[in-house]
Amino acid sequence: MEMVIGKYQKPDWRTFLVFVFKRSAIVFMLIVVAVAAPVAKLYKDIWKPPLITSTIPGEVFDLVSGISILGAVFLLAAAVAIAGLEYFRYAYKMGSDTLEIRRGMIHVKETAIPYRRIKGIDTHESLLYQLLGLSDVIIELTVDINDYGNKKGENSDEFLPAIPRGVAQAIQEEISHRANIERVHIHDQYGKKI
């Protein structure tokens, strides 16, 4: 996937995976409960600890495990549906004067950022992003000042989440060029670029 100027671009399938993963934390907890319940029942049946054997019937462990599995399936389906909505409505475009971002689930928000308002641009990669070859592009914006010298807003950041690494670097270079941002390279004590 490469960056195209003047045309809305959609992210690739890895972005969809990240969107699903971010919305399914509770699913993983329910899977742990679904696995832990049969293990606890096995513990109860084999070692017969007096407190558990006398107070908790074995059917409770089966019920907890079943409910956890059903809940995990339902929540995973919901996470996929929500992530799908977000993924299919997410796009970005580099125009001649602005970077345009379109995102949302039910209500689609379109943001146009003039290059003249961009004072910095960076990329960020979490461990998951590194494994998938993705980056977040973080765009630091300047403060608007009205005719009377008062601030209209505080410094704010916009970001493009889960962009393929090569495209993220190309976007960073192109925006740096268009916004006249000087890129500073930091080197370690051996002269290697960090």
User: Would you state the torsion angle of the CA atoms of residues 181, 182, 186, 187, taken in this order, to the nearest 10 degrees?
Assistant: 140
pLDDT in tens, 8-46: 998 889 999 999 998 888 787 778 777 777 777 766 666
Tell me: pLDDT of 148 over 60.
no
Residue 144's closest CA among 155, 129, 128? 155
State the DSSP H helix or E strand holding residue 35, giving kind and residue range, or none if neither.
Answer: helix 25-47
- Residue 151 has a pLDDT of 57
Q: Picking from 21-25, 30-34, 63-67, 151-155, which range would have the lowest pLDDT averaged per residue?
A: 151-155
What's the whole-number mean pLDDT along residues 161-170? 92
- The residue that leads in pLDDT, 41 or 103, is 103
> CA 101, CA 111: separation in Å to the nearest integer?
5
Tell me: pLDDT of 91 over 90.
yes
- The residue that leads in pLDDT, 190 or 158, is 158
- Residue 63 has a pLDDT of 76
> CA 125, CA 109: separation in Å to the nearest integer?
25
Sheet holding 134-141, edge to edge: 118-124, 134-141, 156-164
Q: Picking from 13-17, 127-131, 151-155, 178-182, which range would have the lowest pLDDT averaged per residue?
A: 151-155
Q: What is the Rg, in whole angstroms, of the alpha carbon atoms belonging to the chain? A: 24
Mean pLDDT highest for which of 36-40, 101-105, 150-154?
101-105
Residue 166 pLDDT grade (very low, low, confident, very high; cuts 50, 70, 90): very high
151 near 143, Cβ under 8 Å?
Answer: yes
- Mean pLDDT, rounded, of the chain: 81
Domain boundaries defined on the chain:
18-86
Phi-psi region of 119 (alpha: psi -120 to 50; beta: other; left: phi over 0): alpha
- Residue 92 has a pLDDT of 94
Which of helix, strand or coil describes residue 161? strand
Tell me: pLDDT of 143 over 80.
no
